[in-house]
């Protein structure tokens, strides 16, 4: 498993409303698959994120849509970026991802993180706990999930989770790859070094080289070859036809997206991602295009420009 070039779908507000929603997601997935993307990902949220739109905009449940995309695609890997650990019992999550792997014939990746969107937790009845407790839960969850994804019968008695001789069958492969999401140097990177095959990072561009260096240090601290833990960066791309359109789009974005989005022609965005992100030492890219990714042809155009960069 490797994620060299991923396409994340973070927004489901499309022309045509609910009737056209699934078809539009499938169309993006098939464009991605045909143009060099090796992975398609969705967010694991129940509300739209404030930086991306109004909270009551459409948001599909992650594993339902991933299962549907497994039947609507052939080669792309499929994952949540990333599953909120607080939303599911870890044994259930292991079973869910293993089922997705069977449906997709070996194309599932478990993306997982500690969870962070408090409003979802408060309004939907999920325990939010403290920052420290959420990472304690994540560590215990990985102690359960990782062996179950390998088919081990597991008994675990932790502070937060317990399983007794847990069974996980059927499975399609000997193991489903694990991806952590986050850029925390003390907690997330430490857990990634212990448990993950891949880590996806979101951080300001100037600090990315430092993050890569610290990630390598966390691997070396436990005797792991840093080259065995692959990394990627999540970038928001907004392709536009002109500088004037770029300025208009920039003004419409949240402050976070104004600072962190890559806005320009598709070729300009590809150049920036190659220089600023791949040049910083990560192994791959995951992009989303929340403003216009649903417009036919844009995903394919970005895939054709970016795939040669990650193939080098």
Give the Cα separation of 284 and 295 in Å (integer).
24
Helix (H) or strand (E) holding 124: helix 118-124
> What torsion do the CA atoms of 258, 260, 266, 268 make, to the nearest 10 degrees?
100
In this structure, are residues 307 and 5 in contact, taking their beta carbons and an 8 Å threshold? yes
DSSP code per residue over 239-255: E-SSHHHHHHHHHHS-H
Which of 232, 229, 219 minimizes the C-alpha distance to 280?
Answer: 232
Consecutive 10-residue averages of pLDDT for the chain (312 residues): 92 94 98 98 97 96 98 98 97 98 98 97 97 98 98 97 97 97 96 98 94 98 97 97 93 91 96 96 97 97 96 72
The CATH code of the domain at 5-311 is: 3.20.20.30
Give the Cα separation of 62 and 82 in Å (integer).
9
Give me the pLDDT at residue 6, please: 98
- Please report, for residues 88, 144, 148, 181, 304, the alpha-carbon distance to residue 92 in angstroms, rounded to integers and kept in the order given: 7, 10, 10, 20, 37
Query: Any idea where the domains of the chain sit in the sequence?
Result: 5-311
Give the Cα separation of 288 and 299 in Å (integer).
9
Residues 6 or more apart in contact with residue 201 via CB below 8 angstroms:
181, 182, 183, 208, 211, 231, 232, 233, 234, 282
Query: Model's pTM, two decimal places?
Result: 0.96
- Please report, for residues 29, 100, 104, 286, the alpha-carbon distance to residue 68 in angstroms, rounded to integers and kept in the order given: 11, 10, 10, 21
Give me the pLDDT at residue 311, please: 84
């Amino acid at each position: 498993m490797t994620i060299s070039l991923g396409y994340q779908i973070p927004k489901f507000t499309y022309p045509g409303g609910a009737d056209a929603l699934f078809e539009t997601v499938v169309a993006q997935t098939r464009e991605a698959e045909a143009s060099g993307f090796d992975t398609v990902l969705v967010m694991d949220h129940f509300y739209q994120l404030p930086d991306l739109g109004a909270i009551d905009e459409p948001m599909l449940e992650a594993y339902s849509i991933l299962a549907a995309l497994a039947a609507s695609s052939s080669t792309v890997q499929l994952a949540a970026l990333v599953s909120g650990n607080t939303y599911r019992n870890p044994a259930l999550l292991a079973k869910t991802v293993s089922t997705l792997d069977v449906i997709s014939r070996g194309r599932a990746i478990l993306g997982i993180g500690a969870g962070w969107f408090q409003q979802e937790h408060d309004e939907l009845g999920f325990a939010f706990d403290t920052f420290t407790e959420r990472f304690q839960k994540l560590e215990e969850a990985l102690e359960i999930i990782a062996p179950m994804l390998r088919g081990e019968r597991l008994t675990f008695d932790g502070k937060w989770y317990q399983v007794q001789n847990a069974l996980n069958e059927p499975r399609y492969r000997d193991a489903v790859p694990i991806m952590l999401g986050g850029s925390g140097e003390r907690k997330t990177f430490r857990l990634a070094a212990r448990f993950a095959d891949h880590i996806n990072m979101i951080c300001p561009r100037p600090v990315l080289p430092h993050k890569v260096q610290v990630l390598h240090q966390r691997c070396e601290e436990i005797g792991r070859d840093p080259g065995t833990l692959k990394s990627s960066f999540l970038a928001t791309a907004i392709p536009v036809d002109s500088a004037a359109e770029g300025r208009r789009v920039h003004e419409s974005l949240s402050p976070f997206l104004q600072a962190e989005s890559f806005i320009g022609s598709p070729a300009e965005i590809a150049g920036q991602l190659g220089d600023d992100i791949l040049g910083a030492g990560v192994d791959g890219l995951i992009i989303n295009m929340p403003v216009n990714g649903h417009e036919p042809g844009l995903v394919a155009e970005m895939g054709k420009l970016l795939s040669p960069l990650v193939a080098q």
